[in-house]
Structure 1
Amino acid sequence: MMALTVGVLALQGGFAEHIELLNRAAAGIVSEDFTFQAIEVRTVQELTRCDALVIPGGESTTISFVAQQSGLLEPLRDFVKVQKKPVWGTCAGLILLCDEANGTKKGGQALIGGLSVRVHRNHFGRQMESFATPVELPFLSGEGSSSNPDQFPGIFIRAPVVEEVLPHGDGPEVEVLARLANRVERAKAGLSLAQTKGDAGDIIAVRQGSIMGTSFHPELTNDARIHSWWLKQVISGL
């Protein structure tokens, strides 16, 4: 029987919400050969128990600082870049997983790295400029929904975007999973943010090999479809 342990980095941010949705998603995966456990990760010992990891939204500078102070930063880098275990970062988690970040606080911040991208922190503005809008996620088509199977409730709180894909040598390509149209331009045209066609719009979800990042906060919704899809990707790679 396959025993899957998924950790959620629990140094700061929405880790409890991720664990709740991971448990819901796992309960919906019907398999006689599958057992699941989601755990909070605060120590190296807890990290070593994990087959996969979620890095939640929160304050990326704080998460980075606490990880350094607790001796977790280098083990996290090893988990992501050497062991290449599946990792998903949301908002702050995306920032920490990128190789480069713009808009950091004075003095910069330590990153875990692994995603060959540069992100721009707080791309959409300050806390008071946070917003929610439907986003189109084609990879969710098989997860089942109502009349709009590709749409997901996107919650953007001081959210980053991927502003550039960086050279990545012989590694896997960076795959753009979703974009969001420029809010100001769409508003002036009287159009919705829900659909972005072609290559227009900001990159808000990417995947490169075993690493995935999203700008928005699925953990702050009641929709477990992304967690379900991601768990199935993890299981298929074991």
Structure 2
Amino acid sequence: MSIGLLALQGDFREHRATLRRFGIEALEVRLPQQLAAVSHLIIPGGESTTIGRLLTRYALVEPLRARAGHDLAIWGTCAGAIILARELRDTKHGGQPTLGLMDITLRRNAFGSQLDSFEAPINAPVLGPTPLPGVFIRAPRFESLGPKVQALATLPDGEVVAARQGRLMATTFHPELTDDDRVHRYFLEL
């Protein structure tokens, strides 16, 4: 197993620090030949429009689509979840590039602006009975999950904040900004 961090833009360094805490050194992925060397890829939070455009510029779109869910497990956090989504509901950003890999519909910045960022406990039964700490920064919101998509985690009010479709996973929060590494460990098992 080899872990890659999409290192075009965003908080990939924070994911690397989390993985290092349990002894995994991740490869920074910026080009197709680097992508070819990994079995798992994390698409970090950041600015989704920029990440999407850089995926195109560095010829990563087609290699990602070809391998996604087959010999490549992919996890998108926040902006990374937007990149994985099949559909976006956001009238302000009609040109948002996505990979369209997961049968999910998201709304960008659905919880508000940077000033509306918040922390909340997250219920994730697949990770045990203890709630996860959730950090939400300009977070997207799941508006719908396709029939093959499984909800993995929710806020106390029942709102879905993590989902999985086979070897693809999306979280609208930032587990890499906490000391809890359960989501990272779960992803490595995909």
Q: Structure 1 length normalisation: TM-score?
A: 0.75
Please give the alpha-carbon distance, in whole angstroms, between the structure 2 residues aligned to 1:104 and 1:69. Answer: 24
Q: Which has the larger Rg?
A: 1
The correspondence of residues 77-92 of structure 1 with structure 2, limited to 5 A, is 77-80=65-68, 83-92=70-79
1:178 aligns with 2:153: yes
Please give the alpha-carbon distance, in whole angstroms, between the structure 1 residues aligned to 2:35 and 2:125. Answer: 31
Match of 2:19 in 1: 22
Asked if structure 1 preserves the Cα contact closer than 8 Å seen for 2:76 and 2:170, the reply is: yes
Q: Tell me the CA shift for residue 157 of structure 1.
A: 0.5
Asked if structure 2 preserves the Cα contact closer than 8 Å seen for 1:98 and 1:115, the reply is: yes
Aligned Cα root-mean-square deviation (Å): 1.6
Match of 1:150 in 2: 130
Gaps of 5+ in 2: none
Name the SS of the counterpart of 1:117 in structure 2: strand
Flag as ranges the 4+ runs of structure 1 deviating above 4 A.
none
The correspondence of residues 130-169 of structure 1 with structure 2, limited to 5 A, is 130-141=117-128, 149-166=129-146
1:47 aligns with 2:22: no
- For residues 171-199 of structure 1, give each alpha carbon's deviation from its aligned partner in whole angstroms, at most 9, with x where no partner exists: xx21011222xxxxxxxxxxxxxx34xxx
Amino acid across the alignment from 2:18: L
- For residues 94-117 of structure 1, give each alpha carbon's deviation from its aligned partner in whole angstroms, at most 9, with x where no partner exists: 111110011164442221121111
Name the SS of the counterpart of 1:22 in structure 2: helix
Match of 2:3 in 1: 6
Percent of residue pairs bearing the same amino acid type: 46
How many residue pairs match? The answer is 190
Match of 1:207 in 2: 164
Q: Tell me the CA shift for residue 23 of structure 1.
A: 2.3
Gaps of 5+ in 1: 28-35, 142-148, 168-172, 181-194
Please give the alpha-carbon distance, in whole angstroms, between the structure 2 residues aligned to 1:227 and 1:39. Answer: 15
1:96 aligns with 2:83: yes
Please give the alpha-carbon distance, in whole angstroms, between the structure 2 residues aligned to 1:224 and 1:24. Answer: 9
Please give the alpha-carbon distance, in whole angstroms, between the structure 2 residues aligned to 1:106 and 1:226. Answer: 29
